[in-house]
Chain A
Amino acid sequence: MTMIEAINDAMHVALEQDPQVVVFGQDVGFFGGVFRATEGLQRKHGIERVFDTPIAEGGIVAIAVGMGAYGKRPVVEIQFADYIYPATDQLISEAARLRYRTAGEWWSPITVRSPYGGGIFGGQTHSQSPEGIFAHVAGLKTVIPSTPYDAKGLLIAAIEDDDPVLFFEPKRLYNGPFDGHHDRPVMPWSGHPASEVPEGHYSIPLGQANIVRPGADVSVLAYGTMVHVALAAAESTAVDAEVIDLRSLVPLDLGTITRSVQKTGRCVVVHEATRTCGFGAELAALVQEHCFFDLEAPVERVTGWDTPYPHAFEWEYFPGPKRLGDALKRILEV
């Protein structure tokens, strides 16, 4: 299964198992979504449970909050993560705080799915990684899968979760895995072990990282697209890196991170989002707080540059295996 198919399958399962689940967003109904993530859902589950919405992200999320307060479990799609900003007020001021401000009387059991990241020549309005903005907000959960297997299990967990979850989907990985070079042709998911996606219901608890490559020399903290970059960098540099796929930023699996860094003594954080105040800063600070006496080198960050995402220079912007590999070699020399 591709990641898109796994995500689609997760929604089928959720719609089947819980009559309160509803799915809506721009073009998600009849057409099945511009990335085909909601393909066939409307035909199978009916127009009242899977439907198209006006182009109003703030409205989509507000409607979800209201439906959630009513007792529904809305799963909404924001067509590109770059377009989530009109909905930030409803996400940050409303969904995130409804449980808190009502002392548990109301809550927002909503899931907001959105493709993020570069790799499709989307320029600065179809390539952003806004996860750090939302991870900063008390009351929101932020989840990012890196494989079809995880995508299905994590999405089902997100939908079943009673808290608002932002589910960012690495669009570069929708149709195939990644050797870290997004200027090369897409590889098929078929044959990749993580494309074995079981039928029916299964879920992966939010807040459990996955060690996708055990190693002894340095811990690489990655999520989404960058997991594949990290694997490629470890491969190409022959550095014995332990690659940790965080899977969810909030809640964060701090235990797995600290155990790994305490073992390796070195840590590189990698994300596609811009560096300043990015989630990598939080990770670096946590590692410093919890592993200071185990560290043999300063924590390194490999990230997108602090510029908007350029169209023509995607590859120069994107923190690929070369940049990460250089960091891995550098940190081993300290």
Chain B
Amino acid sequence: MLRNHPGLHVPEPLCRPGDEADFSRFTIPAAGALRRPPVHVDPAEIRDFAFSLVRVLDDGDHAVGEWAPNLRIDVLHKGLRAMLLTRAYDTRMVRVQRQGKTSFYMKSTGEEAVAVAAALALDNADMCFPTYRQQGLLIARDWPLTDMMNQVYSNSGDRLKGRQMPVFYSSREAGFFSISGNLATQYSQAVGWAMGAATDGDERIAAAWIGEGATAEGDFHYALTFASVYRAPVILNIVNNQWAISSFSGIAGGEAAPFAARGLGFGIPALRVDGNDFLAVYAVTHWAATRARAGLGPTLIELFTYRAEGHSTSDDPTRYRPGSEPAAWPLGDPIDRLKRHLIQLGAWSEDEHVSLVEELARHVKESGREAEALGTLKEGKRPPVSTMFDDVFRDMPAHLIAQRAQAGV
């Protein structure tokens, strides 16, 4: 937006509560419109990808264009299932939060493809450095829901011993790096992990996720600098879900240039992707992973998506955006779109869908019962209080032994 008067420009979204939702400022290219460059392409030749949008699924639910990944039906089924399970899990966890069984929860509604498609495009041994909104990674890697719930409840089965807020999972085994409450810190750490892998000639690569709001943090820029300088085998994902709590993407600089364009100054190939298109996310992630594994260095991917629900259970989005906005989001819902694609392929039906949704709801409920038997934040078993003093250092120093005795635990 051009300034037409002197003074400070404070970006404002086009619409606020009471207005009609308006996404007219977005130009959305047709599915299949963009070429698919070879992985060894000179980043300078694909600078336009930072300003466009890779899309595979068209309005008739067909996979079109060079980016169509031609996935086997079982992979598509697995993707649909993991996205549905993520949504069912989120729904249930918000309910238990409302019942007071845990303190807090964060949903990924509308963004399930971002995590699930990436998980399927990556190797299971690759290391993910996620934010709190990529629970779909764990679910797509078949990590037990009960383990995740135990963490949400801080109960006696919580492997993290009741130390982390809900949703701040960690699983070395699942290749899911511990989530920090300090935004962006994982982004540059992922680059360090990838540099370690590179020095060892390890085939594994790292992938990191960050919200568009948090790209303003220093760690985002450190990550790009180091990834570019050392050509680290890392995929740097920016999840642009339009909102950072109540601040729209313009407050993080999204009005001046797309977030993907941040990669251009570093010579990092940068692509924008329709984040609600499972096939597009899969295809671009796979392309980036192939580059990284071939020693061609990092790729920056902006996943253009929409946070369909509140930031967390502490947030009421209708206070800062029109209630009609989620429904007006022009790129649809990732689950609906993949479902319609499968139906169009003749590989799925409404009936099968309904029974899968029911099956997954049952699975979530059963897992919930198992987890609740181990306790919730409100009642039941907790990890022993004495463990509060463990793991500050590898070996407990004298002053902590003394403090534990003083605490009488």
Contact = CB atoms under 8 A, between A and B. Distances in A.
B185 A90 contact: yes
A56 B393 CA distance: 27
Given A70-B193, A139-B393, A62 B185 contact: yes
Interface string A246-266: 000011101000000000000
B182 interface: yes
Interface residues of B, number: 45
Interface in B151-195: 159-161, 163-164, 168, 170-172, 177-178, 180-182, 185, 188-195
Contact of B190 (A66, A102, A104, A251): A66
Contact of A59 (B127, B181, B225): B225
B199 A22 contact: yes
A81 interface: no
Contact of B391 (A65, A89, A90, A100): A100
B398 interface: yes
Interface string A53-71: 1101011001111111111
A72 B194 CA distance: 11
A93 B182 contact: yes
Interface in A92-115: 93-94, 98-107
Interface string A40-63: 000000001100011010110011
Given A101-B164, A138-B392, A63 B192 contact: yes
B394 A56 contact: no
Contacts of B197: 70
B170 A254 contact: no
A290 B197 CA distance: 49
Contact of A105 (B159, B195, B223, B226): B159
A67 B180 contact: no
B218 A101 contact: no
B192 A66 contact: yes
A163 interface: yes
A208 to B, nearest CB: 12
B397 interface: yes
Contacts of B127: 70
B399 interface: yes
A62 B234 CA distance: 15
Contacts of A94: 180, 182, 185, 189
A271 interface: no
What is the size category of the interface that chain A forms with chain B? 35 or more
Contacts of A56: 221-222, 225-226
Contacts of A103: 159-161, 163, 390-391
Nearest to B182: A93
Given A94-B180, A100-B391, A63 B218 contact: no
Contacts of B399: 251-252, 254
B345 interface: no
B22 interface: no
Given A58-B218, A59-B226, A66 B393 contact: no
A65 B192 contact: yes
Nearest to A57: B222
Contacts of B192: 62-70
Interface in B196-255: 196-197, 199, 206, 218-219, 221-223, 225-226, 229
Interface in B355-409: 390-394, 397-399
Contacts of B168: 101
B178 A251 contact: no
Contacts of A70: 127, 192-193, 196-197
A251 B196 contact: no
A67 B172 contact: no
Contacts of A22: 199
B392 A89 contact: no
A105 B399 CA distance: 23
A72 B182 contact: no
Given A99-B393, A101-B163, A139-B393, A65 B189 contact: yes
B122 to A, nearest CB: 16
A86 interface: yes
A252 B402 CA distance: 13
Given A64-B192, A139-B392, 19 more contacts: A54-B226, A56-B225, A59-B219, A62-B188, A62-B189, A63-B188, A66-B193, A67-B196, A70-B127, A70-B197, A72-B199, A89-B182, A93-B180, A93-B181, A99-B393, A101-B178, A103-B390, A139-B393, A251-B393
29 contacts: A22-B199, A54-B229, A56-B226, A59-B219, A59-B226, A63-B189, A63-B191, A63-B192, A65-B189, A66-B189, A66-B190, A66-B192, A66-B195, A66-B206, A67-B193, A69-B192, A70-B197, A72-B199, A86-B218, A89-B182, A94-B189, A99-B393, A101-B160, A105-B170, A106-B170, A106-B177, A161-B394, A207-B397, A252-B399
